[in-house]
Amino acid sequence: MDIDKIIATLYVLPEPSKAALIATAKQVTYPKGYILLKADRIEKNIYFIKKGVVRAYSDAPGGQVTFWFGVEGAPVLSMKSYITGEKSYENIELLEDCEFFELNIASLKALYEKDIHLANWGRKLAEHELVKTEERLIAMQFKTAQERYMDLIGSQPALLLRVQLGYIASYLGMSQVSLSRIRAGLK
């Protein structure tokens, strides 16, 4: 996915503002298995996925808990580091070889100070991430495991082909055995 499309998905910018934003972006590539963001670290950059799939997870007593997947076009960031400058709580692992557009948070915030259009774009980024988090929280609290699986199939069917079922089960808040039963029941 190209940077113009990614930027416009959040908020359409005037050409000079878009050019200033693109000028700060750097293309980077990392291999499958790389940990892009690490828990308990203040993250200095945000990323947008040009190509690939990533997952966000936290370590828990019983193992890792996956709580988010990102695909082409998605922002990859620690909201805690981005907004408050504090240490993050999540790890971001690459599930495929990935290409990103990398933006330095300090440089981005300097642009926000100079350009109201870019400030609005940054606000839209934060709002978009807040809504996704809210939807996820509500789904985990009020939907059944089968409903969460059906939502995933409806919104991101390609994930089932690109992501290990164990990670999908964790994301849906169930065991891999439960996910297999749900899948078998739907066939």
> Which tens digits make up the pLDDT trace of 150-177?
999 999 999 999 999 999 999 999 999 9
157, HSE (Cβ side, Cα atoms, 13 Å): 1
Condensed to tens digits (0 to 9), the pLDDT of residues 47-105 reads 999 999 999 999 998 889 999 999 999 999 999 999 999 999 999 999 999 999 999 99
> What pLDDT shows up at residue 187?
76
Whole-Å CA distances, 32 to 29, 55, 59, 97, 101: 10, 11, 19, 4, 17
8 A C-beta contact, residue 76 and residue 6 = no
Is 172 exposed, middle or buried, given 0-12, 13-18 or 19+ CB atoms closer than 10 A?
A: buried
Q: What is the CATH number of domain 3-142?
A: 2.60.120.10
Question: pTM of the predicted model, to two decimals?
Answer: 0.94
Cβ neighbors of 16 (< 8 A, separation 6 or more) are none
Question: Residue ranges of the domains in the chain?
Answer: 3-142
